[in-house]
Structure 1
Amino acid sequence: MTDGRIETGAGPGTAGEMGHWIAGGPVAGRSGRRAEVFDPATGRVAGHVALASAAEVDAAVAAAAAAFPAWRDASLVKRAQVLFRFRELVDAHRDELAALITAQHGKVRADALGEVARGLEVVEFACGIPHLLKGGYSENVSTGVDSFSIRQPLGVVAGVTPFNFPVMVPMWMFPVAIACGNTFVLKPSERDPAASLLLASLWRRAGLPDGVFNVVQGDRVAVDRLLEHPQVRAVSFVGSTPIARHVYQTGTRHGKRVQALGGAKNHMLVLPDADLDLVADAAVNAGFGSAGERCMAISVVIAVDPAGDELVHKIVQRVAGLVVGPGDDPEAQMGPLVTGAHRDRVAGYLDAALAEGAKLVVDGRETPIRGGTTAAATPGFWLGPTVLDHVRPGTAVHRDEIFGPVLSVVRVPSYEEGLAIINGTEYGNGAAIFTGDGRAARRFHAEVEVGMVGVNVPIPVPMAFYSFGGWKASLFGDTHVHGPDGVHFYTRGKVVTSRWPDQGHGGVNLGFPTNG
């Protein structure tokens, strides 16, 4: 950023086109390909973004590879100092980052600011890298022999991130990777690319050496080149399960370390003894925040009899009071979906659910939009909060990751049946239980087959010093994101066994060495 402006990498003839960030500065796209970037609230094209060619990806990787030796050898204290300065700059520019999120993703301002705050938590975690990279030391493992362990960076690593969190999810990755001594290439979503360029300019202002952090805008061409590039050592990915599977299989086939976080279908199990007012608040907050475009959104409420009728009534009451409108409207609580195609896909589930026996309690297509009429009739990518009751397990609306503001209510007669539904799904990202019974809660977090569990907490996103990730088809790879797993993912271990014998000590001995 210079003089308050975002450095976009626009070049001659590409006015307003957002480009790349390579070797410490903005670079205009040269592939001749570009994509439209929309204002979700109006449906209008707000700009264009360059789509990188394989050659442009190669240039970013080459810059990262050239910067790696010096950054790897930089002291832990120097790295931490850069991280601290970056943290302060992000904090100072959180309003600008939030405005970019609102403009290109559609989130309301409060939600966008919350995203920036959660990303900052990972930066703050990474500021402690001198402590996080401490190894172990054992003296005299054998006579006069010492052993110690160290963790070293991998080299050039890459991150491929989704549209729904254009600031937070990249900051789950690159602060830890860079703090560990790696250099980084980010491929953000082409739907909301501007925030990545502002973050890059803040890195430069923080004193990060040129080439340590790079951004290549693009589509699958860029992703596949990163997965195949021989100098890229590891790839982090967050997105849908089919693409996560492709990323994992392609990356590992090319010898890379890969963590690929896929889709989710998160359930909330509600026992009859739960505080149903608390549950209704939690279901609405977790189901409709960010228009349901969260991998940790609660999309299914499993109500154990006799809680169902009263709970649905309370949820409907709260939905009726929600204000849906443009993200820059201070009164709005929920904004639009990210694209028209995605909105149409989500809305398509409603008629399908009715055909499969569900009851449409609240139809988001009829939601009033501030500054417009109904969601279906207002320009932009609108779908209001939607509630479906009596959803049958295994139907499409229950089975698929819809990724929109659709909350399904499933009714069951017992805890055991509710747990079986959760454990029988394809995904294993997160789940929550609401109850006043500590024994039931303890049983649930022991028995449920997911990676993240909430007890009277609807969105169990771990703090930055723990790690984020699911089970089953929600994660491909064996490490989660940020926290201790993040440090482990971006480094590799080495054990040194050392001896400094007296002069003349030695002799030939072909026996297998043992301690003594």
Structure 2
Amino acid sequence: MKNLKDFSINYLETDTSEKIFSFDEKTSGIKDAEIKVVTPIDQTLLAKIKISNRLEYEEKVSVLKKAQDLWKIIPAPKRGELIRLFGDELRKSKQELGKLVTIESGKILQEGLGEVQEMIDICDFAVGLSRQLYGLTMPSERPGHRIQEIWHPLGILGVVTSFNFPVAVWSWNFALATICGNATLWKPSPRTPLTAIACYKIWQRAIKHSEHSDSTEDIFKIIIGHKEQAEWIAKDKNINLVSLTGSTQMGRTLSKYVTERFGKLIMELGGNNAMIVTPSADLKLAIRAIIFS
């Protein structure tokens, strides 16, 4: 598939005659289950992707912790520079990534391209924010002293995303977390792992141009899987903030694990909101708005 080759997504030969897609140069060598990725457009099989096992998960979290210790001491404007480079690479790959979003999620092409544009926009926003991480100062009771407020990075951000916005929601979390000095672990929807892998490849292109490439190599990792892998993130005390996007039921289940360990949590969950159309409404406009929403 040409779109996959655009992002250097290669086959991983297993101990069977089957070919499974992998996005890491290093693998555990353990034969695992795989996810079958099909396009909702016509149910064509796009790829089979290896599911991350527990050992791989723990190794990636360990690597993220070490990388974040280095990343957090880099000045915020320098961190913003890397996000600028990532945004530039997204601009170069907008057409290819937008098409991949369409093929994998079933969105029309215009929406696929629009989602990539949202990624570019949040990168631009984060770059500016990297020079505006202000802290308050205030008078102290002690003569000749002032109190200063300093914001510190949280650590590792765990992001779980849904299939209907396969890349935009992750990028909102990732761009802001990165300029604030955090590392990110992403578990995309099992329906749309290819777009996540493509984003990982684009990120790798960006860090090659960074003056801090040694410190940025391992601040972003992906795990592939289902509910089990999402639960690993929710239960893991090493994950300092969990961002969940998906169904209300998913939020109920995973939020319980995060709150039980007093973890920090962000949720954007699905709803079932009613639409009220009055007799005086412009029906053509209302129908379009309802369908778009």
Larger Rg: 1
**Partner Cα distance (1:31, 1:190) in 2:** 18
Q: Displacement of 1:9 after TM fit?
A: 6.0
Change (3 A) 1:126 1:225: same
Alpha-carbon offset, residue 248 of structure 1: 0.7
User: How far, CA to CA, are the matches of 2:88 and 2:158 in structure 1?
Assistant: 24
1:72-111 pair list within 5 angstroms: 72-111=72-111
Matched to 1:265, the amino acid is N
* Cα RMSD for the two superposed structures: 2.3
> Deviation of residue 85 (structure 1)?
0.7
Q: Which of 13, 18, 23 is the equivalent residue of 2:21?
A: 18
Shift of 1:84: 0.6
Q: Partner of 2:179 in structure 1?
A: 179
SS state at 2:146 partner: strand
Say which SS state the counterpart of residue 99 (structure 2) adopts.
helix
Aligned residues with identical type, % of pairs:
26
> What does the per-residue CA deviation read over 1:154-176, in whole Å, with 9 as the maximum and x for residues that have no partner?
11121011111111121121111
Q: Say which structure is richer in helix.
A: 2
Q: CA deviation at 1:276?
A: 3.9
Rounded to whole Å, the distance in 1 between the matches of 2:40 and 2:130 is: 42
* Alpha-carbon separation, structure 1, partners of 2:47 and 2:263: 35
- TM-score, normalised via structure 2 length: 0.87
- Quick check: 1:52–1:221 contact (8 Å CA) kept in 2? no
CA shift digits 1:35-57 (9 cap, x unpaired): 21112222232211211111111
For 1:124 and 1:33, locate their aligned partners in 2 and report how far apart those are by CA, in whole Å: 38
SS in 1 for 2:49: strand
Matched to 2:189, the amino acid is S
Partner of 2:82, secondary structure, is helix
Measure the CA separation in 2 of the matches of 1:84 and 1:75.
15
Alpha carbons of structure 1 residues 131 and 275: separation in structure 2 relative to 1, 3 Å: farther
1:164 aligned counterpart, secondary structure: coil
SS of the counterpart of 1:190? Answer: coil
Q: Cα gap change, 1:106/1:281 in structure 2, threshold over 3 Å: closer, same or farther?
A: closer
Q: Partners of 2:284 and 2:6 in 1: how far apart?
A: 46
- Give the 5 Å matches for 1:225-304: 225-284=232-291, 286=292, 297=293
How far did 1:264 drift? Answer: 0.9
Alignment partner of 1:135 is 2:135: yes
Distance between the aligned counterparts of 1:169 and 1:96, measured in 2? 19
Cα distance per residue 1:53-93 (max 9 Å; x no partner): 11111111111111011100011121011011100111110
Q: Which residue of the partner structure matches residue 162 of structure 1? A: 162
Higher fraction of strand: 1
Between the aligned partners of 1:26 and 1:269, the Cα distance in structure 2 is: 53
Asked if the contact 1:8–1:17 (Cα under 8 Å) also holds between the matched residues in 2, the reply is no
The corresponding residue for 2:206 is 206
**Cα distance change, pair 39–237 in 1 and its aligned pair in 2 (3 A):** same
Equivalent in the alignment of 2:192: 192
Q: Is the 8 A contact 1:9 1:28 kept in 2?
A: no
Does structure 2 conserve the Cα–Cα contact (< 8 Å) formed by 1:11 and 1:28? Answer: no
**Equivalents in 2 of 1:172, 1:279: separation in Å?**
29
Q: Counterparts of 1:96 and 1:277 in 2: how far apart (Å)?
A: 33
Please give the per-residue CA displacement for 1:109-139, whole angstroms capped at 9, x wherever unaligned. Answer: 1111111112322222211233442111124
Consecutive unaligned residues of structure 2, counting only runs of 5 or more, are 208-212
Distance 1:204 1:273 in 2: 54
